[in-house]
């Protein structure tokens, strides 16, 4: 499945396109600015004390340009997702979207540009789109020609921190405003993304571990596993430690629409960060690119000065702490194949052109009705010189509930990135067994 970029496309990288394929120019009316990429790492005016610190806003004085409400939503409809429109319809008195000035100020390291150029020339999908042959440490397909190419580029093969450690709170807010609280200690490792490790797509691509602290009934449960660059020849391996039996067992087929541990069934395993894992159950299509209001530069949302009681209001997060900007996004749609099953019959993802990260997702049931809508609030992590996934907000439009996922506001430390303190030995069945003793 080779769809190499043309020579004419490749010649545009670093010119009218950024080095990873985004349009450098702003839009016609200037509401989307030209890409500047003026900052790599910590901007001079930001007082950043190192990884583990709560995100520090580089735009602390900015105020919203305007606020979208149920009353004026019609004036902005072409730039809203179906999920956003549904939230306005369900919560007309309280759901609002404060729209801030748009910024395109951060850039990737030069190594990402170099790898992206190599991948534009040589990357390809194999095994019916279940595997990839490419160079790690950059963007996979800066000129995606198929839905599967865009899916891989924006979910599995993103340029993200190579290690992540955190203790986070997951709070499920019911329709009446009551809250069920969970807490998870997590670690993720992708050594192929460590600077200097750029190379072939061989060996494990990533490791993960989640240890449940809350709720009390699940305390001590551990889920851990590893991924490879080919879902067909080397599918995800996962193990679970059960504190009740004090045994570690393999978890076959961990992924897809299995419920994510500790979420109370409110999200599936494959919708963490909008979508992850194998895309084999869907037919994927690129719908196009459009201008949309999306969560962006969401530093304030993660502030330790904001309590969960302030942030998590009934129906949706408190709009006062949200930030939306106008950006160009790719729209990707997956339709469930006839011979496969999944809770969601159709999925639509919205992918930022500058970072190639999935920012929002709409999930439809088997009848075609919009069931759940989600957003991941990213911010640029100075220490990692790339974007970091922050709080995920997963709304059940039928139940009127939502899950706030990966909260760190009330934690002493936030996201510890690229620390160099974890390795492959911190993952897998033996690690789960050690944690369970």
Q: What is the mean pLDDT of residues 136-152?
A: 98
Q: Of the candidates 418, 359, 387, 389, which has an alpha carbon nearest to the alpha carbon of residue 104?
A: 387
Which residues touch 251 (CB under 8 Å, ≥6 apart)? Answer: 223, 225, 238, 239, 240
Residue 167: pLDDT above 70? Answer: yes
Residue 37: pLDDT above 90? Answer: yes
Residue 405: pLDDT above 90? Answer: yes
At 148-158, the pLDDT tens digits run 999 999 999 99
At 327-359, the pLDDT tens digits run 999 999 999 999 999 999 999 999 999 999 999
Q: Of the candidates 26, 31, 35, which has an alpha carbon nearest to the alpha carbon of residue 102?
A: 31
- φ/ψ (deg, to 5) at 320: -60, -30
| pLDDT at 3 (0 to 100) | 66
Cis peptide before 21 (omega within 30 of 0): no
What span, in angstroms and rounded, lies between the C-alpha atoms of 307 and 304?
Answer: 7
Residue 124: pLDDT above 60? Answer: yes
What span, in angstroms and rounded, lies between the C-alpha atoms of 348 and 82?
Answer: 9
Q: What percent of the chain has pLDDT over 70?
A: 99
Are 378 and 365 spatial neighbours (Cβ–Cβ below 8 Å)?
Answer: no
Gyration radius of the chain over CA positions: 21
| pLDDT at 2 (0 to 100) | 56
Say what the pTM is: 0.97
- φ/ψ (deg, to 5) at 373: -130, 145
- Tokens found for residue 254: 């961990």
- Tokens found for residue 205: 């691509």
| Residue that the structure tokens 């999930």 belong to | 363
- Tokens found for residue 419: 């620390």
Residue 181: pLDDT above 90? Answer: yes
pLDDT band at 263 (very low <50, low <70, confident <90, very high): confident
| Residue that the structure tokens 């639509």 belong to | 348
At 277-329, the pLDDT tens digits run 999 999 999 999 999 999 999 999 999 999 999 999 999 999 999 999 999 99
At 39-77, the pLDDT tens digits run 999 999 999 999 999 999 999 999 999 999 999 999 999
Are 74 and 85 spatial neighbours (Cβ–Cβ below 8 Å)?
Answer: no
What span, in angstroms and rounded, lies between the C-alpha atoms of 242 and 298?
Answer: 36
Q: Of the candidates 407, 207, 201, which has an alpha carbon nearest to the alpha carbon of residue 308?
A: 407
At 189-247, the pLDDT tens digits run 999 999 999 999 999 999 999 999 999 999 999 999 999 999 999 999 999 999 999 99
**Angular region, 309: left φ>0, alpha ψ -120 to 50, beta rest:** alpha
What span, in angstroms and rounded, lies between the C-alpha atoms of 158 and 351?
Answer: 11
What span, in angstroms and rounded, lies between the C-alpha atoms of 360 and 289?
Answer: 14
Are 125 and 140 spatial neighbours (Cβ–Cβ below 8 Å)?
Answer: no
What span, in angstroms and rounded, lies between the C-alpha atoms of 189 and 34?
Answer: 34
Residue 136: pLDDT above 90? Answer: yes
What span, in angstroms and rounded, lies between the C-alpha atoms of 364 and 282?
Answer: 13
Kindly provide the residue ranges of all beta strands, DSSP E only, lying in 56-194, ordered along the sequence: 66-68, 97-99, 124-126, 131-133, 163-173, 179-189
Give Dmax over CA atoms of the chain in angstroms.
62
Are 295 and 324 spatial neighbours (Cβ–Cβ below 8 Å)?
Answer: yes
What span, in angstroms and rounded, lies between the C-alpha atoms of 46 and 437?
Answer: 43
Q: 161: how many CB neighbours lie within 10 A of its CB?
A: 25
Q: Of the candidates 155, 159, 50, which has an alpha carbon nearest to the alpha carbon of residue 107?
A: 159
| pLDDT at 437 (0 to 100) | 65
| pLDDT at 261 (0 to 100) | 80
Which residues share a beta bridge with 347?
Answer: 334, 363
Q: What percent of the chain has pLDDT over 90?
A: 96
- φ/ψ (deg, to 5) at 166: -165, 155
- Tokens found for residue 131: 């595997």
The per-residue pLDDT of the chain, averaged, comes to 97
């Amino acid at each position: 499945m080779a769809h190499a970029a043309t020579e004419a496309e490749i010649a545009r990288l670093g010119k009218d396109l950024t080095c990873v394929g985004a349009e450098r120019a702003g839009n016609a009316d200037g509401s989307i600015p030209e890409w500047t990429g003026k900052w790599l790492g910590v901007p001079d005016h930001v007082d950043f004390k190192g990884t583990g610190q709560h995100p520090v806003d580089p735009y602390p004085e900015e105020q919203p340009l305007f606020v979208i409400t149920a009353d004026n939503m019609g004036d902005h409809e072409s730039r809203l997702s179906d999920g956003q429109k549904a939230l306005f319809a369900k919560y007309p008195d309280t759901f609002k979207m404060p729209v801030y000035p748009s910024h395109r100020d951060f850039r990737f390291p030069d190594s990402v540009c170099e790898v992206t150029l190599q991948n534009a020339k040589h990357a390809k999908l194999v095994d019916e789109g279940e595997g990839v042959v490419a160079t790690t440490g950059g963007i996979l397909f800066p000129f995606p020609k198929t839905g599967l190419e865009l899916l891989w580029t924006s979910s599995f093969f993103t340029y993200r921190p190579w290690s992540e450690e955190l203790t986070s709170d997951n709070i499920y807010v019911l329709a009446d405003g009551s809250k069920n609280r969970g807490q998870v200690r997590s670690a993720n490792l992708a050594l192929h993304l460590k600077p200097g490790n750029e190379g072939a797509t061989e060996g494990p691509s990533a490791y993960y571990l989640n240890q449940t602290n809350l709720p009390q009934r699940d305390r001590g449960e551990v889920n851990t596993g590893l991924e490879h660059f080919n879902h067909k020849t080397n599918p995800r391996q996962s193990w679970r430690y059960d504190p009740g039996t004090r045994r570690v067992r393999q978890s076959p087929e961990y992924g897809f629409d299995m419920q994510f541990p500790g979420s109370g069934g409110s999200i599936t395993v494959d919708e963490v960060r909008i979508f992850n894992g194998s895309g084999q159950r869907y037919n994927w299509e690129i719908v196009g690119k459009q201008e949309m209001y999306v969560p962006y530069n969401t530093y304030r949302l993660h502030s330790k000065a904001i309590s969960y009681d302030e942030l998590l209001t009934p129906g949706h997060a408190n709009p006062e702490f949200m930030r939306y900007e106008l950006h160009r996004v790719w729209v990707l749609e997956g339709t469930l194949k006839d011979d496969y099953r999944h809770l969601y019959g159709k999925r639509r993802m919205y992918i930022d052109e500058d970072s190639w990260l999935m920012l929002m997702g709409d999930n439809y049931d088997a009848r075609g009705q919009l069931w759940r809508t989600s957003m991941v609030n990213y911010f640029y992590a100075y220490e990692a010189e790339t974007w970091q996934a922050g709080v995920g907000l997963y709304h059940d439009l039928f139940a009127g509930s939502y899950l706030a996922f990966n909260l760190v506001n009330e934690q002493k430390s936030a996201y510890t990135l690229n620390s160099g303190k974890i390795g492959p030995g911190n993952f897998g069945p033996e690690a789960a067994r050690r944690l369970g003793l």
